[in-house]
Amino acid sequence: METHKILFDSLDKAEMHFEAGEIRAAQKIINQVSRAMRSNKKVSNKLRHRFNFMSAQSRYFNDISLFATNPKRNEIIQKLEKLIAIPSNDPKKQANTIHSLQTKWQLLDQSSKPAKKDQWITFKELTNKAWEPCAQYYEELKEVKINNAKERKKIIEDLNNYAETNSKNWPNLTELNKHLNKTFKLWQSYAPVLDESYSKLKSDYSNARKKINNEIRRQENKNFKLKEEVITKVKLISDKDNNICLQKFKKLKNDYQNIGSAGKKQEKKLWIKLNKNADRFFETEKSLFKDELVTIDSLMKELIKENYDLTKIKSQISNLRKSKRTKEFKELMNSIKTLEKKNLEIKNLKKVETYVNILDYLESDEIDYLELSKEIKKVLQKPLYLANDEELIKSVVMIELISGTESPVSNKSIRQAASIELLQNKFSGFETNSNKLKELIISFINNLNSKKINAKEKKLWKRLQTLIPNIINDLP
């Protein structure tokens, strides 16, 4: 019973090798089990069925391997036949061609099921015949093969030393794979070798890589378990607030990605599994996103109405979170900006009209509806009428300065003094253009002679009226 258990475990191990793509390793174990079963008289039906299943898998992989490589081997044989029929005039060139074909043949043996006996005999006979015209060069090539074998022995020694040096503290998966790939490329560069040394070198090379490959599988299995744990944590996320769920998933996803590889075969499956368990969060997000698009459509329809409430619409926009990058959201914002600009233009036109005709409201009690500051309204109702022409001119010149308009030459000295005053105010930071303009409008009204303005005052007022459209945004 104990022997049967060991054999079952061996077959399980062989299956793991098949799944990992390590066909040769799996077939080696199956051959060992086959020998053990032949030496053991009593074998249970369950073990025999299990062995037959694994043997069938082994034959399947052999068939696949032969199916893929036999046409390539036949092609090499055909090239050798052609080389024998029409040999090269240059023995060195012929030797290089044979050398190249031998390299390809050996690499096929290394990457798949070895050639059948009859194929190998045919290849060897044809190779020997093709070598006859370049016997002189053969000895040189033999030296190359011997040197290649020496270099391959160094590679095997390097792999063994690497495994021994790092066995107590192995590097990470990336470094291990890099080292194996680097040595494999180097190994391939030293081909071919003599036929009698090829099998031994190949076996030693495979054994030297074995410890490193075992460590790679150990680390991959460890990473597999860690990633499975992260996936389990994703499954357990169940907060009522979907945003919190998404935040937790993103953090776990980041943790997942910081774990090393679990092996090429498992990695894709785990990634799909991770994201599948998070689909429910994104479905909720999609639903919220669609709801927001419906809201945007509704707001767009509101904007078309004559009695739209822009303040209310803007307050609803502040609740939109998922759709801010959509073209629908951008179109809504552009429509609002267009309306705001249009409303501002209408408001400014009314404002210009009010300021242009402001002197019509002197001593009037019906000015509550006007969009003016309370200070200006107050002075309109009870002007001081100081009858100060100099202050009137000064007010107009200062407003011209603020608006960037030239003043008459006759006002040059007033303009220079006004410029200094404005500069001082600017550097002191006490006054804004809006406050200063309000002060100047009030000063102009207070310094009139009476409600019925005279010709000189009318002329000054006309200068002010032309400035109003330019300073409308700063007027209170």
- What amino acid occupies position 362? L
pLDDT tens, residue by residue, 354-369: 788 888 888 887 787 7
Banded pLDDT at 13 (limits 50, 70, 90): confident
Task: Please state the rounded mean pLDDT for residues 439-461.
Answer: 87
Residue 467 lies in a domain: yes
Range name among 75-84, 112-121, 158-167, 249-258 with the lowest pLDDT average? 112-121
Range name among 47-51, 228-232, 243-247, 285-289 with the lowest pLDDT average? 285-289
Which helix (H) or strand (E) segment holds residue 141: the answer is helix 135-166
Q: Are residues 385 and 446 in the same domain?
A: yes
CB proximity list for 302: less than 8 A, separation 6 or greater: 308, 309, 313
Task: Supply the mean pLDDT for the chain.
Answer: 80
Banded pLDDT at 5 (limits 50, 70, 90): confident
- Which carries the bigger pLDDT value, residue 61 or residue 156? 156
Whether residue 430 is predicted with pLDDT greater than 80 in this model: the reply is no
* Omega before residue 91 within 30° of 0, cis: no
Q: How many CB atoms lie within 10 A of CB 113?
A: 20
Q: Are residues 370 and 449 in the same domain?
A: yes
pLDDT attached to residue 153: 92
Q: How many CB atoms lie within 10 A of CB 175?
A: 11
Task: Please state the rounded mean pLDDT for residues 385-404.
Answer: 85
The last residue of one of the domains, among 66, 86, 106, is: 66
The last residue of one of the domains, among 282, 302, 324, is: 282
Whether residue 7 is predicted with pLDDT greater than 80 in this model: the reply is no
114 neighbors 203 (Cβ within 8 angstroms)? no
Residues 286, 281: Cα–Cα separation, whole Å: 9
The top-scoring range by mean pLDDT among 38-42, 67-71, 260-264, 362-366 is 260-264
Residue 42 lies in a domain: yes
Task: Please state the rounded mean pLDDT for residues 289-314.
Answer: 75
Q: How many CB atoms lie within 10 A of CB 280?
A: 14
Task: Please state the rounded mean pLDDT for residues 224-240.
Answer: 89
Q: Are residues 14 and 29 in the same domain?
A: yes
Residue 94 lies in a domain: no
The last residue of one of the domains, among 24, 41, 66, is: 66
179 neighbors 162 (Cβ within 8 angstroms)? yes
SS3 content of the chain, % helix, strand, coil (to 5): 80, 0, 20
Banded pLDDT at 142 (limits 50, 70, 90): confident
Angle in degrees, 0-180, between the axes of helices 195-235 and 135-166, rounded to the nearest 10? 40
Expressed as residue numbers, the domain containing 58 is 1-66
Q: Are residues 345 and 410 in the same domain?
A: no
Q: Are residues 301 and 326 in the same domain?
A: yes
Banded pLDDT at 313 (limits 50, 70, 90): confident
Q: Are residues 317 and 269 in the same domain?
A: no
Q: Indicate the burial class of 29 (C-beta count within 10 angstroms; 0-12, 13-18, 19 or more).
A: buried
Residues 464, 447: Cα–Cα separation, whole Å: 15
Banded pLDDT at 270 (limits 50, 70, 90): confident
Residue 214 lies in a domain: no
pLDDT attached to residue 63: 52
Residue 200 lies in a domain: no
Whether residue 116 is predicted with pLDDT greater than 70 in this model: the reply is no
- Which carries the bigger pLDDT value, residue 271 or residue 4? 271
Task: Please state the rounded mean pLDDT for residues 389-414.
Answer: 85
Q: Are residues 278 and 310 in the same domain?
A: no
Range name among 115-129, 208-222, 262-276, 458-472 with the lowest pLDDT average? 115-129
Whether residue 1 is predicted with pLDDT greater than 70 in this model: the reply is no
Q: Are residues 362 and 462 in the same domain?
A: yes
Q: Are residues 322 and 271 in the same domain?
A: no
Banded pLDDT at 113 (limits 50, 70, 90): low
pLDDT attached to residue 154: 92
Query: What is the domain count for the chain?
Result: 4
pLDDT attached to residue 42: 76
Residue 78 lies in a domain: no
Whether residue 158 is predicted with pLDDT greater than 90 in this model: the reply is yes
Whether residue 157 is predicted with pLDDT greater than 90 in this model: the reply is yes
- Which carries the bigger pLDDT value, residue 206 or residue 305? 206
- Which carries the bigger pLDDT value, residue 64 or residue 132? 132
Q: How many CB atoms lie within 10 A of CB 322?
A: 17
**Structure-block tokens of residue 459:** 């002329």
Residues 106, 99: Cα–Cα separation, whole Å: 11
| Residue 275 CA to its chain's centroid (Å) | 16
- Backbone Cα Rg of the chain: 47
Residue 312 lies in a domain: yes
Q: Identify the CA nearest to 295 among candidates 319, 276, 278.
A: 319
Task: Please state the rounded mean pLDDT for residues 376-405.
Answer: 85
Whether residue 41 is predicted with pLDDT greater than 70 in this model: the reply is no
What percentage of the chain carries pLDDT values higher than 70? Answer: 89
pLDDT attached to residue 221: 92
SS3 192: coil
Task: Please state the rounded mean pLDDT for residues 28-54.
Answer: 78
Banded pLDDT at 147 (limits 50, 70, 90): very high
Q: Are residues 410 and 314 in the same domain?
A: no
Residue 88 lies in a domain: no
27, 113, 149 from 58: Cα distances, Å: 6, 11, 31
Q: Are residues 399 and 332 in the same domain?
A: no
Task: Please state the rounded mean pLDDT for residues 79-100.
Answer: 79
Whether residue 67 is predicted with pLDDT greater than 50 in this model: the reply is no
398 neighbors 436 (Cβ within 8 angstroms)? yes
The top-scoring range by mean pLDDT among 131-135, 214-218, 424-428 is 214-218
Q: Are residues 323 and 361 in the same domain?
A: no
